[in-house]
A and B are shown apart, each in its own frame.
Chain A
Amino acid sequence: MKKIFLLFIILTLATFMIAGCGGAVEEPKENVQQEQSEAEKQEATPSEDTSYPDKPITVTISYSAGGGTDTGARILLPYVEEILGVPVNVVNRPGGGGWVGWTYLLNQEPDGYTIGYINTPNLMTGYLNPEYNRDKSIDDFDLISNHVLDYGAIAVKADDDRFQTIDDLIEYAKKNDLTATSTGVGSDDHIAALKVNDEVGTKFVAVHGKGAAHGKAGVMGGHIDVLFANVGEATVPHKNGELRVLAVMSPERSEFLPDIPTLEEKGYGKIYSWSARGIAAPKGIDPEKLQVLSDAFAKAMANAEHIKKMNEMGLAVKPLIGDEYYQFLKDDESGVKKVSHLMGW
C-alpha cells in the first residue's frame, strides 16, 4: 500500500520536474552568459558607483500567458537578460482589456525594476473612452522602446468572386453595406474600418467578436464579408489559399506580403492602421536608468536571431526609442481621437 503511494508520489514529482525542465534547459547557459556579461560590465565600467541593475527586473504583461504579446516578449527578454546581466522575469496580469496590468504598472515605484509592455491602440482607447473614467494617459509612462509593429490588412474569402482587387471592394462598399470583422469596440481592426469609412465613404459595418480567430473563421465560412485584421494574422491563411489579402494599411508594402498594395498607393490617402507594442516604465524613472534600459532593449532587438524568430511568427520588429517613440504613440492617440465620435464618445 505505502509502497504504491510512494511510487506514485515519485512519479508525480518526476513529471513535474520534466515539465519544469522544458523551460529550464537554457538556464545554466544563461547563467554562464550572465556571469560573463557581468564580468564584462565590471571591466567596462569600473568607476561607476551606481550599479543599476543589480537585482532582478520584472516585466509585466497585460495579457495572458501564451498570447501574442506574451510570446513575443518571451522571445525578446532572454536577449535583454543577457545584456543587462540580471534575471528578467515575466509577470502576466491580464484583464480589463490590458488595463489591469497597466494600472498595476503605474502604481509601482519608478525604480527601474518594474517595467511593462504597453499595447496600442488598446492603451489609448482604454483612457480616451469616457465610460471607463480613467485619469491616466500616455504621459504617465516613461518610454523605453517599441518592439513590434503590426500593420492592418484587408482580406476577403479566397473564392469570393465579387472582389478581385481592393478597388472592386471599395467601389462596392460605397454603395452597399458590407459586414467587417473586428476584435472589439476600439480595437485597431475596428478603428481601421472606421477610418476607411470616414476617408473614402464606404459602408463597412463592424461585427465585434472575440479575437482574430473568430473573425477569420467568420470570413472563411462566408458569414462575414470582409476581414479587417493585422498582417501577422492574415499572412498564413493568405498563403494557404484560405483568404485573399487585398490591401495593407501601411506607408510601405509589408515584407511578408510584398505583392499586396497599400491603400495609399492605390490612391485612397494616408489610411494607416496598426497595433504596436513596446516597453515602458512608470513615470519618474532616473534618466540614467532609462538610458541603460533603452540601450539594452535596442541592442537585444537588433539581434539577428531574435528578428528571425519574430519573423517566423509573422511579426515585424520595429525598434523606436525616445522622442520618436513618444511621437509615434501621440500619433496613435490622435488617430483614435479622430474617429472617436464614430464610436459614440
Chain B
Amino acid sequence: MVTLFLINWATILQIMEKLLSIETILALIVGTIGGMIIGALPGLSATMGVALLIPVTFGMDPVSGLTMLTAIYTSAIYGGSISAILIHTPGTPASAATALDGYQMTLQGKGMKALGVTTISSMIGGVISAVALLFLAPPLSLISLKFNAPEYFLIAVFGLTIIGSLSAGSMVKGLASGVFGMVIALIGVDILTGYPRYTFGISSLESGISLVPAMIGLFSLSQVMIQVEKMGTKSVKFTGELKGKVLPTMQEFKSIFPTIIRSSFIGIFVGMLPGAGGDIGSWVGYNEAKRFSKHPEKFGTGIIEGVAAPEAANNAVTGGALIPLLTLGIPGSATTAVLLGGLFIQGLIPGRELFTTHANITYSVIFGFIIANFLMGIAGLSAARLLVKVTEVPSSVLAPIIVVFSVVGSYAINNNVFDIYVMLFFGLAGYLMRKTGFHPAPVVLAIILGPLAENGFRQSLILSRGNMLDYFMSRPICLILIALIILSLFSPMILNRFKERQTTKAKEGISTSS
C-alpha cells in the first residue's frame, strides 16, 4: 500500500503549494466558468474547448495548465446541459439525453429546478469520478508495464465494438462511419515498414491526419454549417420565465440520490472504455435509471430522475476517461485524446512515471480536478440563471466566432497550416455525413483506435514469432480482454432476449393479478 500511492507529507505540502498559487487559482476559475460558457454554446463542445486552449497552456506551469484543461472538460459537459434543458438544443453531444426530461420540465415551468438538479448531479458525478481517478489510477499504473502490443490491440478492438452502440438509429451507417475512420487512420507512413501510405507525394500527409483538426472539423464546423442552414428560420429562444428555487428539497434529493450514485459508477466505467465518452455515458445512465425505476413510464415526461441520471453519468465519464489516459496513454474519450497532446506539451508521458517521478504534478492536477468539480457546482447554483443568456446569442454572431475558433484552433495545435485544410475537409465531410444520417462520433473513435489496433496486432505478430494464438492465450490480461470483447459483442442480443422475457413475465404478472 505504501508503494501504491507514494504520497507523503512532503508531497502533500508540495501539492498544496502548487494548487494555491495565483496562476493555478486563476486557471481553475477561468477553466470552470469558461468551460460552462463553451459547453452552453451549441457547436462548441468540450473537445473543442480543450483543443483551443492547449496552445495557451504551452507557456503555463504544468499544474495550472493541466488543471485548466481538466476544469474545462468537466464544466463544458455540464454547461451543455443548460441549453439542452432550456432550449432543447444540447450544447454538447453528451447532453442529448438530458434534453428529454429537462426540456419537459422547462415547459412545465420547472426549468429552475431542472437546472438545480443538473448542477447537483453533475457535481456529485464529477467529484465521485475524480476521487475514483485518485484511487484507481495509481494501482492501475503499476500494472501498466504488463500492457504491451497484444493488450493494446485487444483494448482497441474492445473500444471499436462500442461503435455499434454509438450509432443511434442505423447500425450499418454506424459501422460505415467506423470504416471511414479506419481508412483515414491508414494515411501516413506505416511505422512497421516505413512505407508511405496514401500520401500522394504530399509530405504533410506522411505523419498522418492529425486528430484534433479532424475532430474540430467533424464536430464544430459541420455543426455550424447545419446551423447556418437554419439561419433564415426563427431560432429557438428561451422565452419562458425562470422562477422558484434552484435547490431541490431534501425529499427530492433523497429520491434521486440512488440514481445519482448508480449513474456515477456507470459513467466512470463507460469513461474508462477506450474512446467512449460522455455521449454514451449519459444514454447508458438514463436507460439504466429507467430500468431500475418503479415508474419507468414517467421518464420523458419531465421528472427529476430523468435529468439526474444522464447528468451524473456524463460528468462521471470525465474522471473515468482520465484513468486509462494517465496510466496507459489510451484516451478514454475524444476529449481526453486531445488532452493527451496537452500532456505531451508539458513533457509528461503517460505511464508509471506520472505517479513516481512526476507524482507531485499528477496528484496536484487530480486534486485540482476535484476542486474544479466543486467550483463548477457552486458557480452553477449561483449563476445558472445568468448562463441562460449565453444560449440567446444569435447564430449569426455565434457561427462566425466558431469558424474563427476552428481555424485558429486547428492551426495552433501544431503551428501547421496544412491542418487548417484538414479541418476544412472534415468539416465538409461531417456536414455531408450529418445530412445523410451518419454520425461523426464513430469516425473519431476509429481514427483514435485504428492505429492502436493495427500496430498492436502487427507488433504482436513479431513478438509471438508467428505463434499468435498461444501468445495471446498465455497472457492473463489478454484473456480478460477477450472475454470483455465477446461480452460486449453479444450483450445487446442477450439483453434484448432478457428484456423480452421480462416484459412477457410482467404482462403475465399483470394478467394474473388482475
Interface residues of A (CB under 8 A from B): 1, 4, 8, 11-12, 14-16, 18-24, 64-66, 71, 91-97, 99-100, 103, 125, 129, 131-133, 177, 179, 184-186, 205-210, 213, 217-218, 220-224, 343-344
The CA-CA distance from A132 to B30 in the complex, in Å, is: 46
Query: 22 A-B Cβ contacts within 8 A?
Result: A1-B386, A11-B26, A11-B33, A15-B23, A16-B56, A64-B414, A93-B416, A94-B207, A94-B414, A96-B205, A99-B206, A100-B204, A131-B194, A177-B465, A184-B194, A207-B459, A208-B192, A213-B349, A217-B148, A220-B145, A221-B148, A343-B194
What residues on A are CB-neighbors of B26 within 8 Å?
Answer: 11, 14-15, 18
Residues in B175-197 with C-beta less than 8 Å from chain A: 189, 191-196
What residues on B are CB-neighbors of A95 within 8 Å?
Answer: 203-204, 206-207, 414, 416, 418
Question: Does B13 count as interface, using CB distance less than 8 angstroms?
Answer: no
Q: Check B415–A92 contact: CB distance below 8 A.
A: yes
Report the minimal beta-carbon distance from B353 to chain A, rounded to whole angstroms: 9
Residues in B130-148 with C-beta less than 8 Å from chain A: 144-148
The CA-CA distance from A306 to B243 in the complex, in Å, is: 64
Which of the candidate stretches B312-320, B339-347, B431-439 sits at the interface with the other chain?
B339-347
What residues on A are CB-neighbors of B463 within 8 Å?
Answer: 179, 207, 223-224
The CA-CA distance from A209 to B59 in the complex, in Å, is: 30
| Chain B 5-33 near chain A by CB (<8 Å), digits 1 or 0 | 00000000000000000110011011001
Report the minimal beta-carbon distance from B339 to chain A, rounded to whole angstroms: 14
The CA-CA distance from A21 to B29 in the complex, in Å, is: 19
Q: Check B194–A4 contact: CB distance below 8 A.
A: no
Q: Check A208–B345 contact: CB distance below 8 A.
A: no
Q: Check B193–A133 contact: CB distance below 8 A.
A: no
Report the minimal beta-carbon distance from B245 to chain A, rounded to whole angstroms: 20
Q: Which of A23, A97, A208 is close to B206, meaning CB atoms less than 8 Å apart?
A: A97
What residues on A are CB-neighbors of B462 within 8 Å?
Answer: 179, 205-207
Question: Does B298 count as interface, using CB distance less than 8 angstroms?
Answer: no
Residues in B324-350 with C-beta less than 8 Å from chain A: 344-347, 349
The CA-CA distance from A22 to B59 in the complex, in Å, is: 5
Question: Does B389 count as interface, using CB distance less than 8 angstroms?
Answer: yes
The CA-CA distance from A291 to B501 in the complex, in Å, is: 85
Knowing A20-B59, A205-B462, the reply to whether A15 touches B27 (Cβ < 8 A) is yes
Q: Which of A18, A66, A100, A129 is close to B23, meaning CB atoms less than 8 Å apart?
A: A18
Q: Check A12–B416 contact: CB distance below 8 A.
A: no
Question: Does B201 count as interface, using CB distance less than 8 angstroms?
Answer: yes
The CA-CA distance from A21 to B23 in the complex, in Å, is: 11
Question: Does B98 count as interface, using CB distance less than 8 angstroms?
Answer: no
Q: Check A65–B57 contact: CB distance below 8 A.
A: no
The CA-CA distance from A209 to B33 in the complex, in Å, is: 40
Knowing A179-B463, A209-B455, the reply to whether A23 touches B203 (Cβ < 8 A) is no
